[in-house]
Chain A
Amino acid sequence: MLFNSLKYAIFLPIVVALFWAIPQKWRVPLLLLASYIFYMSWRPAFIVLIIALTVVNYLLGNAIWKSENRKKFWLTVSIVLNLSTLAFFKYAYFFDDVAASCLAPLGVTVAKLPFDIILPLGISFFVFEFIHYCTDVYRGNEPIKSFIAFALFASFFPTQIAGPIKRFQDFIPQFMSPAKFCWQHFDDGIALILLGLFKKVLIADNLAFFVQGGFAHPELFHGLDLWIFTYAFAFQIYFDFSGYTDIARGSAMLFGYKVPINFNLPYLATSIAEFWHRWHISLSTWLRDYLFIPLGGSRCPKWVNARNLVITMTLGGLWHGAAMHYLLWGLFHGCLLVAHKEFQTFKKSVSVLSNAFNSSAGKWFSMLLTFHAVCIGWVLFRAEDIASCGQILEKLFFIDALKAHASPLAMNLPAINYPLIYPSIYFVLPILAIAHIVMGKVDKTNFVENSPKLVKAAWCVAMILLIVVFSPDKSPRFIYFQF
């Protein structure tokens, strides 16, 4: 059941109405039931997996808490169990392929897996939530007493498929305290859902159509064309994922629950480190707390710190998908973070450089540089395979980088009747970039929260009309569903 489907448009209001109509004590069980129905709407059999993992992690959490001297053992069991489940469903083919290609030169043939594996939706997200739970119980946080509440924490339908990755310390108390219907929450929830649909259906889906052509056949394009495709993908993935998160947060808000934000205008970051504080925040903080810090964090010798950064980001890349280009994407970001850290140290020692980067022009330059570094990363992320990734990067930087067509293909591709609202990409990308910068300024003044209700109402009307008129009959899945 996709968030941008008629099914969800019927499902959500029914669950919200029932939630507020029934007594308090039945609300959490109702949400759990609704979450399981939501999950089963995709492939009913996989409900067994999520229930089994929930039961096992609940018991392991209690075992860690109660155990006097075997806490570490139970934590290890929990981590191994969760990661091996993830590895089986998500990485079995990848490991098989890697083993086959590594052993082939030695004359060893690795057999193909004798069975088909289907990746359960949202597994990467709920497995990370289970690991967080067991680890935090190990670190001294009291486990969740109610099994139903624990089960709902892991399967809460707005965040079930693509996060944000929640923390039980923030989330569970919201279940436990009696909820009262609040019109403001209702309004803000609906407004967030509309905003999310707007981002997904009207922006990301239209850009997807454009991007797909460029990345599938890079051999047909020159450097400038490919730069435009890359910029378009940067905005597509941002609007796709942040649109999903807005719908998830808005849906949760209709029940009076708050889910953490996941994005904070990432392309305004002036460094790669800041980018990761603004992009997929729930994942980057998870990686920091449960991977980077346990590896030793930053309070260690320089090279160990660099190693930790690279390992964390490479595994973070691999989390996105079982393919070599995701791994390279993570490695690339790890290297960028190490380089950034080194540059920061160097910058501090040279006052002229420090002053230059702290000036207004310096900040704009940093922002532009960071954005382009991130865009290069997106090429690794989006490319169909390693070969086409190499071809795109080569064209972006070395071959014909400044050569555009007399009549650029990029200009002509969207000139057919679809996408409807964006017949030309040259209008779209600058508008999106300007909107991003304007939102950065507006956000600082809490303009959206403080604007008059009539303005908010007008905004809702405009979004509803645009969505109604321009929604395509079918919409591609959210990009992050595949992870």
Chain B
Amino acid sequence: MVVQAPAKIPTPVRSKPQPTRIRTARYLSYVLVAVAVLALLDVGARISYPHWNIDRYDSPNKSWIWWAVSDFHKQQQTPDVVLLGSSLMLEALNTGDATYLKHPQNVSLHHTSTCLQDDLGAKLGYKPRTFSFAIAGQMASDAYAIASTLLNGQSKPTTIVYGIAPRDFMDNTLTNVTTTETFRYLSRVGDLSKTISASKPSFFEVIDHWFENISFIYKHRVDLACIEQHAAKALLASIGHHDLDTYNVPFELRRIALKEVFEDVASNETMVCPYGNPPVPYLDNLAEYRQRYAHMNAKMFKSQLGYLEQLLQYGKEQNINVVLVNMPLTTDNVATMPPGFYENYLAQIADMSGKYKSKLVDLNRPGMFNRGYFADSAHLNGLGGMRFFELLSQSLVDNHVELRRTK
């Protein structure tokens, strides 16, 4: 009998423990992945920034301030006298020079007062070099931003001549000092952070600023736009498109463009003709000024006076003479201001200039400029411009204002 060996009891195959729940695949959010990649790119940009070769004076928009700064850097020597002011100074300079030189002046490129230089040259025996940062709509805060970011070190002039008028302290369309093109441009060039934080920005400006602090790419978006623009210009140049900073279309079209991007100025944007060629009638713009003065913002006025004080303080610290010039206005224009306002403005300016021992030249005294010198109720025409610089140079000489350190 064959005894069969008992069949080996098969050992049960141990199955792996089954999970009690079916595991679902985790969803990977591609937006979160994108945010993580952006964070990495941001860090990468921060680290590599020194190699970007960014010119901090570069800008995708060629604004009035850009043209002025660009020209300022092209000067062979540091100017002795820097002119600051709004369109009141700008027009006096351009129409004055156009009339004096009997040749139209290109506002984008003309930043020297030949009238003033020649007049001073005749009176002093040497010609101080002048440079103008006068820009339409320039507020006292802009003037301070220009001085504190550009006029220092090797670029320090001997004297700043700042032409002021009540409207430079009370632009009722300005929401915040940081929103002007001049201020925005210069905040990239120099450190204006103290001014920005003291300017009581709006909620959205705070958010924007906060976001700039978080994101390096966002903060340097203008640099990236400049890089792209240079690439695009190189591409266009390769197909024969050169000289992209001038416009070549009828001015009607350019005007439409300006409405949308008023901060963009072409190199041939505005030409100013000599007085009387062609004859331009006097423009009655009193309605505009009535509107400006009627909605005077007292807070803004006070804040802008504060910036003027900072400018005077800066001049004192840097050993730069600051001459304040009360700009000429028609009597009609002054009459549209609220009663007592103009006198109060003058008194405050006089107090401030006295406090910082800066000269105050009042060129709005009766009899100095009759209506024939004005293009409208506030701006001088070519004859007025020439007379303005003649009177200014006489005042500078009479007041013994130092105009050049080394003669």
Question: Which A residues contact B (CB, under 8 angstroms)?
Answer: 6-7, 10, 183-184, 186-187, 190-191, 209, 212-213, 216-217, 220, 407, 409, 412-413, 415-418, 420-421, 423-424, 453-454, 456-458, 460-461, 464-465, 468-470, 472, 476
Contact = CB atoms under 8 A, between A and B. Distances in A.
Interface stretch (B33-41, B284-292, B326-334): B33-41
24 contacts: A7-B204, A187-B31, A191-B31, A209-B257, A213-B249, A213-B253, A213-B257, A216-B253, A217-B250, A415-B241, A415-B247, A416-B264, A417-B244, A417-B245, A418-B257, A418-B260, A423-B233, A423-B244, A457-B30, A457-B33, A461-B34, A464-B34, A468-B217, A469-B225
Given A417-B264, A423-B232, A461 B60 contact: no
A10 B225 CA distance: 25
Interface in B211-235: 215, 217-218, 221, 224-225, 228-229, 232-233
Given A417-B62, A423-B233, A183 B29 contact: yes
Contacts of B60: 417, 420
B34 A184 contact: no
A464 B225 CA distance: 14
A421 B215 CA distance: 22
A412 B247 contact: yes
Contact of A415 (B31, B228, B244): B244
A299 B5 CA distance: 91
A220 B241 CA distance: 22
Contacts of B236: 415, 423-424
A478 B208 CA distance: 23
Nearest to B264: A418
Q: Which of A220, A409, A458, A468 has the most CB of B within 10 A?
A: A468
Interface string B20-35: 0000000111110110
B225 A415 contact: no
Contacts of A421: 228, 232
B53 interface: no
A406 to B, nearest CB: 12
Contacts of B406: none
Given A7-B204, A190-B31, A416-B244, A220 B252 contact: yes
Nearest to B250: A220
A456 B217 CA distance: 21
Interface residues of B, number: 42
Nearest to B239: A424
B208 A468 contact: no
Contacts of A416: 244-245, 247, 257, 264, 266
A61 to B, nearest CB: 39
A187 B29 contact: yes
A454 B30 contact: yes
A346 to B, nearest CB: 45
A10 to B, nearest CB: 7
Chain B contact residues: over half helix, strand or loop, or mixed?
A: helix
Contacts of B264: 416-418
A465 B217 contact: yes
Contacts of B266: 416
Contacts of B241: 415, 423-424
A412 B236 CA distance: 11
Interface of B: 27-31, 33-34, 37-38, 41, 60-62, 204, 207-208, 215, 217-218, 221, 224-225, 228-229, 232-233, 236, 241, 244-245, 247-250, 252-253, 256-257, 260-261, 264, 266
B204 A213 contact: no
Contacts of B208: 6
A460 B252 contact: no
- Tell me which of A212, A418, A421, A465 has the highest count of chain B C-beta atoms within 10 A of its own C-beta: A418
Nearest to A7: B204
Interface of chain A, helix or strand or loop or mixed?
Answer: helix
Contact of A217 (B34, B221, B252): B252
A472 B217 CA distance: 16
B29 A418 contact: no
A209 B241 CA distance: 20
B229 A417 contact: yes
A417 B61 contact: yes
Q: Which 8 A-B pairs have the closest CB atoms?
A: A460-B34, A457-B33, A453-B30, A412-B248, A457-B30, A213-B253, A456-B30, A457-B34
Nearest to B241: A415
Contacts of B247: 412, 415-416
B33 A454 contact: yes
A413 B204 contact: no
Contacts of B245: 416-417
Given A213-B257, A457-B37, 8 more contacts: A416-B244, A416-B266, A417-B61, A417-B244, A418-B257, A460-B31, A461-B34, A468-B215
A187 B61 contact: no
A226 to B, nearest CB: 13
Contacts of A424: 236, 241
Nearest to B179: A473
A417 B58 CA distance: 13
Contacts of B38: 461, 464-465
A213 B225 CA distance: 24
Contact of A186 (B29, B37, B204): B29
B33 A213 contact: no
B263 to A, nearest CB: 9
Contacts of A472: 261
Contacts of A213: 249, 253, 256-257
Contact of B260 (A187, A209, A420): A209
Contacts of A212: 256, 260
Contacts of B224: 469
A416 B63 CA distance: 12
Contacts of B249: 213, 409, 412-413
B228 A420 contact: yes
Nearest to A423: B232
A461 B41 contact: yes
Contacts of B260: 209, 212, 418, 476
Given A413-B249, A416-B266, A423-B232, A186 B244 contact: no
A216 B31 CA distance: 42
Contacts of A468: 215, 217-218, 221
A468 B220 CA distance: 10
Contacts of B34: 456-458, 460-461, 464
A7 B225 CA distance: 24
Contacts of B252: 216-217, 220
A215 to B, nearest CB: 10
A202 to B, nearest CB: 12
Given A409-B249, A415-B244, A469-B224, A184 B27 contact: yes
B299 to A, nearest CB: 24
